A and B are shown apart, each in its own frame.
Chain A
């Protein structure tokens, strides 16, 4: 019930491609869904987040798509660059509860 399932585990795309990372959740009480980006040796950094009252949110090259009925949300990175190579984590929480994280997706963008 508290899990957030993330896929794929790893992803390799060419520069300029559009990697898509997917997450699914069970707890319908979750009401906040952030994505974090983590570079090796660093802490996770908040990238973009969405609430279930909208189906899409875009910030720069990053877009979250949210499907409330399917209990799924995904991260799209437009025009991906080698500098986007990192591990991406989806997360979810509700109210004052802790954030539950997915297992992470290691993205490699090759030139």
Chain B
């Protein structure tokens, strides 16, 4: 069964450092998302990506964040200068042409120290 894969599963970084979270969406999907979940809390939307550009972003997704689809398969989230409050689980998701049935990866646990 096709699945969304995310790497790394866990990343610890020092405050102020840059991190790149990687995702390989399901191959024939067209809609890509990053969500984050602070421990025990709701799943929060960060950004959506369609047709090789950002289609929507939340107020959380400020200038410190960026997304890329560098090679047509991988989908990355970069945080330029991490803050303590960026510590969370980051989930990548993808959906097919009708943008239903979004499939989530297993997540990257980011810990900023």
Binding site for B on A (CB under 8 A): 32, 34, 36, 41-46, 49, 89, 93, 95-104
Give the interface SS of chain B, mostly helix, strand, loop or mixed.
strand
Q: How far is the CA of A100 from the CA of B93 in the complex (A)?
A: 13
A-B pair number, CB within 8 angstroms: 56
Q: How far is the CA of A98 from the CA of B57 in the complex (A)?
A: 9
A49, A89, A96, A104: most-surrounded residue (chain B CB, <10 A): A96
- Which chain B residues border A89 with CB–CB below 8 Å? 42-43
Q: Are B31 and A96 in contact (CB under 8 A)?
A: yes
Given A46-B101, A101-B44, 13 extra CB contacts under 8 A: A34-B100, A34-B101, A36-B43, A44-B91, A44-B104, A46-B102, A49-B100, A89-B43, A95-B99, A99-B45, A103-B42, A104-B42, A104-B43
